[in-house]
Amino acid sequence: MIRLRRIDTVAAAASKFAGMLMAVLIGLSLLGAASYGRIRFGKRPEAPAAGPNATRAQDVPQPLGVEIPPRVVNYTYEVINSWPHDPQAFTQGLVYYQGYLYESTGLNGASSLRKVDLQTGQVLNKVDVSSDFFAEGLAIHNGQAIQLTWVTKQGFIYDLASFGLLRTFTYTGEGWGLTQDGRSLIMSDGTDQIRFLNPDTFQVERAIQVRDGSVPVTRLNELEYVDGEIFANIWLTDSIVRINPQSGNITGWIDLTGLLSPEDRRGPVDVLNGIAYDSARSRLFVTGKLWPKLFEIKLKLKRGAAHRASS
């Protein structure tokens, strides 16, 4: 009995010790969890300012150091209107401004700046660019038309009303697309980079690298600033991407496959290129190089598998 009691006592002591140990362990683990939680959630990076379609799972705890990419929305289109477009115009820049289209056309010997009537496609004013240059992107800023050239690192500034050449400017790299956000000129150069230039000095203020998730997206061509986002044609594709101008993140892919009908492709048409936006009436215009038509389109959500730059 004594032996049994002793065993009971030892068992009771062991049980008591185990209970205390458990309490200590639980306490330590609670402290650890609280500390870990502060590191894990307290240092979660803030989401950058994003476009209307970029959302982040703000309320869902994310693993330490892992950025959740913005949601990329896929769009198709609906044609609202179509109008004639000069099939000789190798469109490299397109702008809608105060009731008219302005267009920059490329190719050495065929480059020009044009003022175009939207509904008839009639060229109302035109100035030819020297055959030494292959004209590219076009933006209108402060009553002036600003035109890039492809590989000659020289841009032209025209008076918008007279099309008189006011001056030239230079830049580094290639010139592809050009638009403006009211403050800066926004320029693509065929890479995944978009540069923001001071419109008076043409100095680079900042640059963004365009990414679909973590995948760089290159060949960004004609540009348009649309309600706080940058739209860009991807050269050699039927796609336009929507880009967050702060982060460079792609927020949407617009698939324009089939926009130009087989009948309209009888001539020597080239690729989709040319985006213009009528901000007053929220009208989005698109065309292509040597396309016989220009379209007003409306974006529609696309069902099905997500398009990623890596696919």
Measured from the CB atom, is 208 or 275 closer to Ca ion? 275
169 to 188, contacts with Ca ion by CB under 5 A? none
Measured from the CB atom, is 224 or 296 closer to Ca ion? 224
Measured from the CB atom, is 180 or 249 closer to Ca ion? 180
Could you tell me the CA-to-CA distances from 102 to 27, 93, 134, 145, 147 in Å, in that order? Answer: 71, 8, 17, 9, 11
- Does 94 bind Ca ion (CB under 5 A)? Our answer is yes
Q: Which stretch binds Ca ion (CB under 5 A): 61-69, 75-83, 93-101, 116-124?
A: 93-101
How far, in Å, CA of 223 to CA of 233, rounded? 7
Contact status, residue 195 vs residue 207, Cβ threshold 8 Å: yes
Q: Report, in Å, the least distance between residue 43 CB and Ca ion.
A: 40
Q: How many residues bind Ca ion (CB under 5 A)?
A: 3
Three state DSSP letters for 230-283: EEEEECCCCEEEEECCCCCEEEEEEECCCCCCCHHHCCCCCCEEEEEEECCCCE
Pattern 270-309, binding to Ca ion, x per CB under 5 A?
-----x----------------------------------
Q: Report, in Å, the least distance between residue 203 CB and Ca ion.
A: 22
CA-based torsion, 201, 204, 206, 212: positive or negative: positive
Q: Report, in Å, the least distance between residue 41 CB and Ca ion.
A: 42
Q: Report, in Å, the least distance between residue 95 CB and Ca ion.
A: 5
Q: Report, in Å, the least distance between residue 294 CB and Ca ion.
A: 12
Q: Report, in Å, the least distance between residue 275 CB and Ca ion.
A: 5
Measured from the CB atom, is 70 or 146 closer to Ca ion? 146
How far, in Å, CA of 208 to CA of 43, rounded? 24
Pattern 201-240, binding to Ca ion, x per CB under 5 A?
-----------------------x----------------
CA-nearest of 243, 241, 238 to 295 is 238
Q: What is the DSSP letter of 192?
A: S
CA 55 to chain centre: 15
Measured from the CB atom, is 72 or 94 closer to Ca ion? 94
How far, in Å, CA of 138 to CA of 152, rounded? 15
Measured from the CB atom, is 148 or 260 closer to Ca ion? 148
CA-nearest of 308, 280, 278, 311 to 294 is 278
Measured from the CB atom, is 91 or 244 closer to Ca ion? 91
CA 27 to chain centre: 50
Q: Report, in Å, the least distance between residue 276 CB and Ca ion.
A: 5
For 54, the enclosing helix (H) or strand (E) is none
7 to 66, contacts with Ca ion by CB under 5 A? none
For residue 196, list its beta bridge partners.
Answer: 186, 206
Place of tokens 């973590």: 214
Place of tokens 């705890």: 61
Q: Which stretch binds Ca ion (CB under 5 A): 51-59, 87-95, 210-218, 302-310?
A: 87-95
Q: Report, in Å, the least distance between residue 75 CB and Ca ion.
A: 18
Of all residues in this chain, which one has the CB nearest to Ca ion in the complex? Answer: 224
Residues near Ca ion, by CB under 5 A: 94, 224, 275
